Amino acid sequence: MRTSFVAGNWKMNTNKASAVALATAVAAGAPARVQVGVAPPFVYLDAVGQALKGSTVRLGAQDVCAEKNGAYTGACSCEMMADLGVNFILTGHSERRHFFKEPGDVVAKKAAAVLAGGFTLVHCVGEKLEERDANKTLDVVQAQLNEIDPKLAGDKGPDKLVIAYEPVWAIGTGRNATDQQAQEVHAFIRSALARRWNKDFADRVRIQYGGSMKPENAKGLLSQPDVDGGLIGGAALKADSFLAIANAAD
Ligand code: PEP
């Protein structure tokens, strides 16, 4: 009953020509029954958006500024994203939280702006290794889920909210969560969403797994009952590996 959503987070990779080539190849090979999206660097959103025209592949942004406009050097607003045809926006990615020291209240403001702007929000949550070792995984995930304004998300509907569970220790490390570890946290997230809203809402929200997902481990992760797609970093930089993951979600 949930359509899987597989999104590629290109991070600070590609140049204009390779971004357009990658988007063109993804658009040509995307499976029909899976929602597929790509999130290029800001500066290539326009060119990638043009390359995706006429395809079902959605255009995503890796980040956004919560402010509407003004003196915010280096930042881009939701209105600018709308102007470029952006469909989904990531908030709370671990690299924003940890490398750029983005605190929870800033993440929360961004998530609210994304929902208010009518985009699909892909809200990333996940624990660091020391937090997992200290049995704090579910507490960390719950606190990060609390960054989403329940009223705003509820008003926009379950289709506009996607949660990406990305254990920090699995991102870009080659070490993925096991199928069971992923399912355990995904089931917890769904039950937390049901407590916050209701079971019907929670049953319709897509929960992606992210963290070293690749063609070899995708099928096992994606066949877990509460895993509804993936947020893919490294493996999204090549069309064949990204499309193999998207096909594994079919
Ligand atoms: C990510 O950064 O969202 C991610 C999942 O990266 P990777 O697939 O490279 O671990």
Q: What is 44-63 written as a DSSP string?
A: GHHHHHHHHTTSSPEEEES-
Residue with tokens 């096991």: 178
Gap between the Cα atoms of 135 and 141, Å rounded: 12
Query: Is 96's pLDDT higher than 90?
Result: yes
Centre of ligand 1 from the C-alpha of residue 214, in Å: 10
Query: What would the mean pLDDT of 159-188 be, rounded to a whole number?
Result: 96
b/e 118-132 (16+ beta carbons within 10 angstroms → b)? ebbbbbbbbbbeebb
How far apart are the CA of 199 and the centre of ligand 1, in A?
29
> For residue 173, which atom of ligand 1 is closest to its CA?
10
* pLDDT tens sequence across 177-211: 999 999 999 999 999 999 999 999 999 999 999 99
- pLDDT given for residue 4 in this prediction: 98
* Ligand 1 mean position, distance from CA 195 (Å): 28
Structure tokens given for 192: 């937390």
Nearest CA to ligand 1 atom 7: 233
E-strand spans in 17-96? Answer: 35-39, 58-61, 88-91
pLDDT for residue 1 is more than 90: no
Instruction: Answer yes or no: are the C-beta atoms of 242 and 235 closer than 8 Å.
Output: yes
State if residue 118 touches ligand 1 by the CB under 6 angstroms criterion: no
Q: Is the pLDDT of residue 20 over 90?
A: yes
Return d(Cα 101, Cα 118) in angstroms, integer: 26
Residue 15, pLDDT above cutoff 90 = yes
Residue 220: per-residue pLDDT: 98
Element (H, E) at 163: strand 161-165
Q: Outline where 84-238 has alpha helix (H).
A: 94, 104-116, 129-133, 137-145, 150-156, 179-196, 199-204, 215-222
CA of 184 to the centre of ligand 1 (A): 19
pLDDT for 38 equals 99
Task: Kindly give, in sequence order, each residue whose CB lies less than 8 Å from that of residue 67, ignoring residues fewer than 6 positions away.
Answer: 75, 77, 113
The finding on whether 211 has its CB within 6 A of some atom of ligand 1 is: yes
Q: Which atom of ligand 1 is nearest to the CA of 94?
A: 2
Q: Find the catalytic residue in 93, 95, 102, 123.
A: 93
Calpha distance 113→198 (Å, rounded): 23
Q: Could you tell me the pTM of the whole model?
A: 0.98
Query: Which of 92, 66, 70, 93 lies closest to 81 in space, CA to CA?
Result: 66
Cβ 230 under 6 angstroms from ligand 1: no
Are the beta carbons of 132 and 94 closer than 8 angstroms? no
- DSSP lists the bridge partners of residue 8 as 38, 232
Q: Could you tell me which of 141, 84, 91 has the C-alpha nearest to residue 116?
A: 91
Among 95, 123, 166, 186, the active-site one is 166
* Ligand 1 close to Cβ of residue 147 (< 6 A): no
